[in-house]
């Protein structure tokens, strides 16, 4: 235990560091982490927390994984980075080859990017460049659904939910796109004809100015932790085909098994024109993302004035990240991940549903390795965050949502402890 060190770190953190979605002048009190291993985060003061967040969906194999560590160390001895313009290397080539093989049929080319938001920027740029090449530069809008989240850079932000995404704050500086109501809530709720009316109407009226539809498949993450029926995604694909509009599917949160399928698109049996991957692609070890596309998009961009995709980040194809991503795929594909996620789903369903009828709870929903308790009012973060730490778990709610997406390696007992800690904390919340 080192409480002096903890306080010193907190003081310096508050003085110099700006945290996500936080004030710089009134900084939050964050918990310093000393190390992490398996499913545990170890705080500087010695406390061990069971991780319920996989560090924002990414660390699917837990922390300090021997195979991923070894891949990083080996790669470090060869090269940690080389530029990707004019040079290439085995880690990136192997990763791209494997992503093409694993993702839905038709996605044949991979553009490596350095974060999820950048992969969304690249996807949007691909779509715009495609239509400019086709002589249809008036197709300069995107269509999306409310409650979406696609990242924090400007184009990504412009397709986030208009309310959660703070569009009013950036009005005038952010592109304005078309929004229709979010898909109805419920993975198992059958799709009804009226669920598609707004989408059909918007596409019918505006298709000549729309380049692409962008959507998170099956699970809307940071925009509301909402699950929807795969038939909706299938209908989106069909409508895009009908109106000759590109479909961008953002699998950054859902990819690599989280929903029970390797990619959430598989629930609907569709292949998008463009797909974004990130987060768990490197097992959460380091920042890496990818934008995949099909031959239609490639041919379109080939025929543009530039003849090339106008994008190329400095750290594109970082060998260290690619080597770890390959190791992460090895670990995932060698495991019985599908069965394990089905088991995690059952435990979370049984454990979290015990609060479903409480006054303060609006809904409990579970899909794959994602468990969500939606409350009736937003949580008080200053109270709830230390309450979880006191109970020995790491859970980071937002708004009305207390949710978990633990590492796939979590044991039954650890997941039960995690769920019961959440249940205890939720029980203590009052509506007043
Ligand atoms: C669906 C989705 N798209 C894009 C992003 C942005 O990714 P990043 O934070 O790596 O930029 C996120 C991050 O939470 C996400 O959940």
Q: Are residues 103 and 115 in the same domain?
A: yes
Judged on CB neighbours under 10 Å (0-12, 13-18, 19+), 365 is: buried
Is residue 17, in this structure, part of any structural domain at all?
no
Ligand 1: nearest atom to the Cα of 222: 16
State the catalytic residue, choosing from 16, 21, 77, 171: 21
The CATH number of the domain holding residue 46 is 3.90.1150.10
Q: Cα dist. 37→6, 34, 48, 91, 92 in Å?
A: 19, 10, 10, 25, 27
Contacts of 254 (CB under 8 A, 6+ apart): 216, 217, 218, 219, 221, 263, 264
How high does pLDDT run on average in the chain? 97
Output the domain CATH number for residue 87. 3.40.640.10
Which H or E run contains 50? strand 48-51
Q: Is the domain of 245 the same as that of 329?
A: yes
237 and 267, same domain (yes or no): yes
Q: Taking a C-beta distance cutoff of 8 angstroms, is the pair 100, 109 a contact?
A: yes
The reply to whether 415 falls in a domain is yes
Residue whose entry in the numeric block shows the structure tokens 């402890």: 417
Residue 348 zone, left/alpha/beta (φ > 0; ψ -120 to 50; rest): alpha
Indicate if 122 and 186 belong to the same structural domain: yes
Asked whether residue 53 is domain-assigned, the answer is yes
Task: Work out the angle between the directed axes of helices 337-352 and 412-428 (0-180°, nearest 10).
Answer: 30
Do 330 and 343 belong together in one domain?
no
Whether pTM > 0.85 for this model: the answer is yes
Tell me, what's the pLDDT at 126? 98
Indicate whether 229 belongs to any domain. Answer: yes
Q: What pLDDT, in 10s, does the model give residues 253-297? A: 999 999 999 999 999 999 999 999 999 999 999 999 999 999 999
Q: How many domains does the chain have?
A: 2
173 and 311, same domain (yes or no):
yes
Same domain, yes or no, for 234 and 169?
A: yes
Regarding whether 347 and 280 lie in a shared domain, the answer is no
Tens of pLDDT, residues 167-207: 888 989 999 999 999 999 999 999 999 999 999 999 999 99
Q: Are 387 and 366 contacting, i.e. CB atoms less than 8 angstroms apart?
A: no
In a domain, 198, yes or no: yes
Asked about 149 being catalytic, the answer comes back as yes
Query: How far apart are the CA of 277 and the centre of ligand 1, in A?
Result: 9
Q: Is 314 exposed, middle or buried (0-12, 13-18, 19+ CB in 10 A)?
A: exposed
Determine which helix (DSSP H) or strand (DSSP E) holds 374, and give its type and residue range: strand 370-375
- 13 assigned to some structural domain: no
Q: Could you tell me if 240 and 92 lie in one domain?
A: yes
Whether 26 is covered by a domain: the verdict is no
Residue 357 included in any domain: yes
152 and 129 in a common domain: yes
Question: Catalytic: 279?
Answer: yes
Q: What is the domain extent for residue 308?
A: 68-334
Query: pLDDT tens across 210-265, in order?
Result: 999 999 999 999 999 999 999 999 999 999 999 999 999 999 999 999 999 999 99
Judgement on whether residues 316 and 172 belong to the same structural domain of the protein? yes
Annotation marks residue 77 as catalytic:
no
């Amino acid at each position: 235990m080192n409480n002096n060190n903890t306080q010193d770190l907190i003081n310096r953190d508050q003085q110099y560091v700006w945290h996500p979605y936080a004030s710089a002048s009134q900084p939050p009190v964050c918990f310093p982490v000393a190390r992490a291993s398996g499913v545990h985060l170890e705080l500087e003061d010695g406390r061990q927390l069971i991780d319920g967040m996989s560090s924002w969906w990414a660390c699917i194999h837990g922390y300090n994984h021997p195979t991923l560590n070894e891949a990083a160390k080996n790669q470090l001895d060869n090269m940690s980075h080389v530029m990707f313009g004019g040079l290439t290397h085995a880690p990136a080539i192997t990763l791209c080859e494997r992503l093409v093989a694993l993702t839905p049929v038709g996605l044949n080319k991979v553009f490596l990017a350095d974060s999820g938001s950048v992969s969304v920027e690249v996807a949007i740029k691909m779509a715009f460049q495609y239509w400019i090449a086709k002589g249809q530069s008036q197709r300069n809008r995107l269509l999306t659904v409310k409650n979406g989240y696609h990242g924090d850079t400007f184009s990504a932000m412009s397709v986030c939910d208009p309310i959660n995404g703070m569009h009013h704050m950036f009005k005038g500086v952010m592109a304005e796109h078309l929004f229709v109501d979010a898909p109805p809530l419920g993975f198992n709720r059958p799709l009804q004809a009226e669920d598609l009316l707004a989408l059909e109407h918007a596409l019918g009226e505006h298709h000549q100015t729309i380049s692409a539809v962008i959507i998170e498949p099956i699970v809307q993450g940071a925009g509301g932790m909402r699950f929807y029926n795969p038939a909706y995604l299938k209908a989106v694909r069909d409508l895009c085909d009908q109106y000759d509009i590109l479909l961008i599917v953002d699998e950054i949160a859902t990819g690599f098994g989280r929903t029970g399928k390797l990619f959430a698109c598989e629930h609907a049996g569709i292949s998008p024109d463009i797909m974004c991957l990130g987060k768990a692609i490197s097992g959460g070890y380091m920042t890496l993302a990818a934008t995949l596309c099909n031959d239609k998009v490639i041919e379109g961009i080939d025929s543009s004035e530039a003849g090339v995709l106008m994008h190329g980040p400095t750290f594109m194809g970082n060998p260290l990240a690619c080597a770890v991503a390959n190791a992460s795929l090895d670990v995932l594909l060698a495991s019985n991940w599908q069965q394990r996620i089905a088991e995690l789903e059952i435990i979370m369903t049984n454990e979290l549903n015990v609060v479903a009828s409480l006054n303060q709870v609006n809904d409990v929903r579970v899909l794959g390795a994602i468990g969500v308790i939606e409350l009736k009012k937003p949580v008080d973060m200053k109270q709830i965050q230390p309450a979880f730490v006191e109970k020995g778990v790491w859970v980071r709610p937002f708004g009305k949502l207390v949710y978990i997406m633990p590492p796939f390696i979590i044991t039954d007992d650890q997941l039960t402890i995690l769920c019961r800690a959440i249940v205890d904390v939720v029980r203590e919340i009052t509506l007043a």
